[in-house]
Structure 1
Amino acid sequence: MHGQAILCAADPVVNASVGKLVMVYALCMGVLGCISTGWWTSRSDRVGRVPVLGLGLFGLLFADANFIFVAKFSKSLPGNYWWFVLGALVEGIFGSISTLNATIHAYVADTVEPHSRVHIFSLFYGLIFCGSALGPTVGGLIVRFTGTPLSVFYMGLCIHTRESRRQYDQNILRIQQEATDAPILARFKRLFGFLSPLSVVWETTGRRRSLKAGARGDWSLILMVTSLGVAALLKGSYSYKFQYALAVFGWSSEQLGYLLSVVGFTRAAFLTFILPVIIKLIKPKPPPAPAVQLPETPNEAFGQETETAPLRRNAHAPQSTTQSIVFDLNLMRVSVLIEVVTFLAMPFAGSSLMFSALTVINCFGIGRAPTSQSVSLALYAQRGGTESGKLLGALGVLQIISSQILGPALFGTTFVKTIATNPAAIFFVSALLVGISLTLLLCIRVPETVQDVEEPLDAEESSALHR
């Protein structure tokens, strides 16, 4: 049986069929995830984060169950192993992992002070990479002891069942009711407006501060989102960089697995331990909350303005928020700079040891991930935005487009065209993209906090305030 498995793995016809199935599976997941992520994250702003998380977990649960079902009964199903794609369709409809990530980040944004967000996001990504590092090892041990690769999917099915079974029925009823109450025309428009979440990037609210920022040409959020979209293209290069290491240095799959484990543990340790310590020691501390200022006149006590006693709105607003954003932004710039330098150096690595060392150093650029979320939310809030789920959903859609559609096409074409003459070209392309991302970050200017008390309200604003 083991010999037959080896022969199948070496059969080019089998490899071609598997590659085609994987491509279709990923395409279905990416397209549906792109369509549904913005819709689900916008719903989370209305019905709550937990219901959307529960439905996302249901999608993962169905994909695991479908995989096991097809593996057991594929010969009795029309289309045979193509029923695997059904799992991708259902998981994509419920938003896939992009919706889960965006909703979790929105939940953190709702419950954590802006000053502490990058710390929490760092721990979040650190735990993800802990799983990425331990997962292959634990999965391999499970397969070795059980003798079947399906045991991993049984375990995943049990975990996802426990997480989602208590939430699904209640949550689907709430969201279905919310959708039923909406006008049919509006629902039809939303169905085909899957890219509409991206409009949140340039939308402005009616707040006075946002209007003033827009009058000055505030492009900070647009530059940030564009930078993230360019950097996300790099995810399409991972498989080709693995092929580069296998071809140039003659590595085996086992040696490549060791490097991937080291990379996972390095990123996890950096995000979980090192980066939080750096933030704690260097990041400016928020000042203590100001003492409550009692009203000096009866009119102030009842919330009324007079010519001699205007309301004190944010007269002593702290500047700590701006300082916090600047720190996170500079930390993100340094992280991206590390990636630029290492990508430029990798083509000149003359040995597998030097290549491995540069790959590990490149891991320290992962600080870009938590800081990007923190800075994006802060810039969005400074423009008057309040629907964090909508913003994170837009970022999720952008990530899918860049990492699952455009990125693989770009790096795949580059690798195929240059593998015979210059296989290291993919690293130069990576350095170029990260350099563009860094340039956009350097153009971001964090606006100063506006003191409303400095300028009088006009008649329209005063009327809106009292309403």
Structure 2
Amino acid sequence: MASSRSRIGRSSSSRHRTTTHEHSDALVPDLAHPYEDLVEARTEMAWWKRPAPWWLMVLAPFSSIISTATVAPQLELYNTLACCIHKPQVTGLETHSSFHQGLWISSSFTIAVDDTVERTFLQSGPPILLSDPCSSDPDVQGAAAKMSAVIDTVNGILTFVTAGWWGSFSDRNGRKKLMGIAAIGQLISSFNILIVAKYLEQIPGGGYWILIVDAVTSGVLGVSTSETAAMFAYISDISTAEKRFRLFSVVSGCMLAGLAIGPMLGSLVVRLTHNPLSVFYMAAAFRILQTCLVWFILPESLPPAQMERALVKHLEIRISTDDRTSLFYVRRLLFFLKPLAVLLPEKTTNRHSSLGARRDWDLPILVLAFGLILLASASLTNQLLYARYTFGWDSEYIGYCLSAIGFSRAIYLILILPLVINFVKSRMRNTGPASSESDLLLPDRDPPRLSHPNTHAFAFDLGLARFSAVVEIATFAALAFAPTGFLFLLFTMLGALGGGVSTAIKSVALDIYSGKFRKNEPVESGKLFGALSVVQSVFSEIIGPPLYGLIYASTVATFPRTIFFVALGSWVVAFALLNCIKLRPEVPDSEDVEDPN
């Protein structure tokens, strides 16, 4: 009986495999030149049904505005929780006994809070960020840093487990659906934070557990990492290699513009309403609007045939591993590591060399450099805590400073860098005029060879990544010795010249990855950006927050600027790794490259 079932199972598996291959073969002719008919069909669409970069230029800043408007109040929420629990004696309060029932906030509702929360969140007048000894106490600062680190780490671990799967999901189901799921996750997060801020004293445990639940929800749904990966994949779907980096830069600049507007908007709302809770209400309302925009208005960038092909390949892989061996179950347990396979070195053959097949380590080296850069960026929260502790910045001032920093980087990425790209690449090209700025807002009219590497574009992107790393090294060195808050802010704003490093690295990574595909084969960029999201979660959310949180908590009373030297070391190593990347020859049309899948 067991033998009969085994034969039946193998026969069924064989039939499924045959059917799947026949389905795949039927799709190949339609996908040999998928963009010729697609571009023509898209030109006949109404403008609101046509996928184009300008959709993301609207959604990207809108999303980042919502995220950053609550940064300063949320940071203050952490400090308030830490102050209430770890240093109630500093304010002369007992955490669980000093309540004021029916405290008036507005004409619409009342809540019960303790006096610490009242002075922090419900101050009738210009907001004061616990400018008493509790706010500047090293123990409270350390506790707030550890709290932020725990929340970010939980989010990061779950993002690490799910981000790669979400990237592949977007290849099979579309970028729009992934951005929509991320928007739902952000909406849930906004309501969670609002509940903690509003009902802080009524929640058992002071709201810690809801913040952890929020981190779990955000991690499972991917939220910001999945949204960013989907946006970059969306751009790669509708752009050529020559235009891709400029679009990456402009969309990244739009995100940073939102990062600049958000804190300023949040500070303005607090000043007008004298109630930081209003910022959380505003964020929740905007999240609802964002979710509706993504699900009901945003056009999909992937053609149905390409999504179907990705689904067929996914099913083929699942069927090929359908034998229930011990290795099968090990693979199932380690499913979250599978997306990282696209980053592994592969054997390549250089017909101009006598050395034969060699492993190409450029992509793993580039990803390691990217990880170290993300590790350095994970120090941002602790940089704000340092500025508040050293220079006495309050929530409103932090909001305005974040806006100034965001605007400087947005101006660089949206205006300055695209002009530099146009100028340099027009000099580098042997033929063909530079693309006009209007081309950035429209999908390509000619059938493009999407995402396949171009030697000149690759050289420029890699050179820009190296230049940006040098700027960031100088910035962190200057921040470590900034004697005043003004110089600290000035050095941070000048660091905008290094703002193109992440965008450049993603473009270089896509060039290297797409070189593994045949010339006319669509590149499943969602897999790559999903893998990069996994890397991002590891370095910026799992390793970075606890590392810098523990370092800052341990050194805040003795040498608080230690965090800048640690970040500086990460940038130096990343710059060295970027210099190990080799320039790549362009793949000729007639040369077949082995499919990585």
The equivalent residue for 2:79 is none
User: What aligned pairs does 1:45-84 form with structure 2 within 5 A after superposition?
Assistant: 45-68=171-194, 81=207, 82-84=209-211
**Counterpart check, 1:163 vs 2:293:** yes
User: What aligned pairs does 1:116-135 form with structure 2 within 5 A after superposition?
Assistant: 116-135=243-262
Structure-2 separation of matches of 1:241 and 1:165: 36
Deviations 1:139-162 (A, max 9, x none): 233345455424223323332341
How far does residue 452 in structure 1 lie from its aligned partner after superposition?
7.2
User: What aligned pairs does 1:140-155 form with structure 2 within 5 A after superposition?
Assistant: 140-145=267-272, 147=275, 148-149=277-278, 150-155=280-285
Evaluate the alpha carbon distance shift between residue 23 and residue 365 of structure 1 in structure 2; reply closer, same or farther with a 3 A threshold: closer
The equivalent residue for 2:471 is 338
The equivalent residue for 2:418 is 276
User: What aligned pairs does 1:182-201 form with structure 2 within 5 A after superposition?
Assistant: 189-190=331-332, 192-201=334-343
Answer yes or no: is the 8 Å Cα contact 2:475–2:492 preserved in 1: yes
Answer yes or no: is the 8 Å Cα contact 1:26–1:88 preserved in 2: yes
Evaluate the alpha carbon distance shift between residue 72 and residue 212 of structure 1 in structure 2; reply closer, same or farther with a 3 A threshold: farther
**Counterpart check, 1:221 vs 2:334:** no
Structure-2 separation of matches of 1:360 and 1:252: 19
The equivalent residue for 1:114 is 241
Evaluate the alpha carbon distance shift between residue 387 and residue 280 of structure 1 in structure 2; reply closer, same or farther with a 3 A threshold: same
Count of aligned pairs between the two proteins: 424
How far does residue 353 in structure 1 lie from its aligned partner after superposition?
3.4
The equivalent residue for 1:104 is 231
Evaluate the alpha carbon distance shift between residue 256 and residue 212 of structure 1 in structure 2; reply closer, same or farther with a 3 A threshold: farther
Query: Which structure dedicates a bigger proportion of its chain to helix?
Result: 1
AA at the equivalent of 1:364? L
The equivalent residue for 1:400 is 537
TM-score normalized by the length of structure 1: 0.77
- Give the 3-state SS of the residue equivalent to 2:421 in structure 1: helix
**Counterpart check, 1:36 vs 2:156:** no
**Counterpart check, 1:444 vs 2:581:** yes
- Give the 3-state SS of the residue equivalent to 2:379 in structure 1: helix
Answer yes or no: is the 8 Å Cα contact 2:143–2:553 preserved in 1: no
The equivalent residue for 1:258 is 400
TM-score normalized by the length of structure 2: 0.62
User: What is the aligned-residue identity percentage?
Assistant: 32
Deviations 1:317-361 (A, max 9, x none): xx9811110011101111111111222233333444333322221
AA at the equivalent of 1:43? F
How far does residue 399 in structure 1 lie from its aligned partner after superposition?
0.7
Q: Structure 2 stretches of 5 or more lacking a match? A: 1-102, 106-114, 122-128, 301-306, 434-451
Evaluate the alpha carbon distance shift between residue 356 and residue 36 of structure 1 in structure 2; reply closer, same or farther with a 3 A threshold: same
1:237 to 365, 379, 385: 379
Answer yes or no: is the 8 Å Cα contact 2:233–2:526 preserved in 1: yes
How far does residue 254 in structure 1 lie from its aligned partner after superposition?
4.0
AA at the equivalent of 1:396? S
RMSD: 4.1
AA at the equivalent of 2:165? W
The equivalent residue for 1:309 is none
Answer yes or no: is the 8 Å Cα contact 1:58–1:164 preserved in 2: no
AA at the equivalent of 1:108? I
- Give the 3-state SS of the residue equivalent to 1:194 in structure 2: helix
Structure-2 separation of matches of 1:343 and 1:18: 23
Answer yes or no: is the 8 Å Cα contact 2:187–2:284 preserved in 1: no
Is 200-209 or 262-271 further displaced after alignment? 200-209
AA at the equivalent of 1:160? Q
Answer yes or no: is the 8 Å Cα contact 2:346–2:359 preserved in 1: no
AA at the equivalent of 2:231? I
The equivalent residue for 1:293 is none
The equivalent residue for 2:493 is 360
Evaluate the alpha carbon distance shift between residue 326 and residue 258 of structure 1 in structure 2; reply closer, same or farther with a 3 A threshold: same
Structure-2 separation of matches of 1:16 and 1:338: 30
- Give the 3-state SS of the residue equivalent to 2:586 in structure 1: coil
Q: Structure 1 stretches of 5 or more lacking a match? A: 290-318
The equivalent residue for 1:422 is 559
How far does residue 219 in structure 1 lie from its aligned partner after superposition?
1.5
AA at the equivalent of 1:261? S
Is 128-137 or 349-358 further displaced after alignment? 349-358
Evaluate the alpha carbon distance shift between residue 26 and residue 421 of structure 1 in structure 2; reply closer, same or farther with a 3 A threshold: closer
- Give the 3-state SS of the residue equivalent to 1:195 in structure 2: helix
Evaluate the alpha carbon distance shift between residue 167 and residue 87 of structure 1 in structure 2; reply closer, same or farther with a 3 A threshold: farther
Evaluate the alpha carbon distance shift between residue 230 and residue 77 of structure 1 in structure 2; reply closer, same or farther with a 3 A threshold: closer
The equivalent residue for 1:377 is 510
How far does residue 56 in structure 1 lie from its aligned partner after superposition?
1.7
Evaluate the alpha carbon distance shift between residue 214 and residue 377 of structure 1 in structure 2; reply closer, same or farther with a 3 A threshold: farther
- Give the 3-state SS of the residue equivalent to 1:229 in structure 2: helix
Structure-1 separation of matches of 2:202 and 2:394: 37
1:93 to 220, 240, 254: 220
Evaluate the alpha carbon distance shift between residue 356 and residue 23 of structure 1 in structure 2; reply closer, same or farther with a 3 A threshold: closer
AA at the equivalent of 2:227? L
AA at the equivalent of 1:117? R
Structure-2 separation of matches of 1:439 and 1:62: 41
Evaluate the alpha carbon distance shift between residue 205 and residue 421 of structure 1 in structure 2; reply closer, same or farther with a 3 A threshold: same
Deviations 1:373-406 (A, max 9, x none): 1111001112338321111111111111101121
Structure-1 separation of matches of 2:163 and 2:219: 9
AA at the equivalent of 1:326? A
Evaluate the alpha carbon distance shift between residue 180 and residue 80 of structure 1 in structure 2; reply closer, same or farther with a 3 A threshold: farther
**Counterpart check, 1:328 vs 2:441:** no
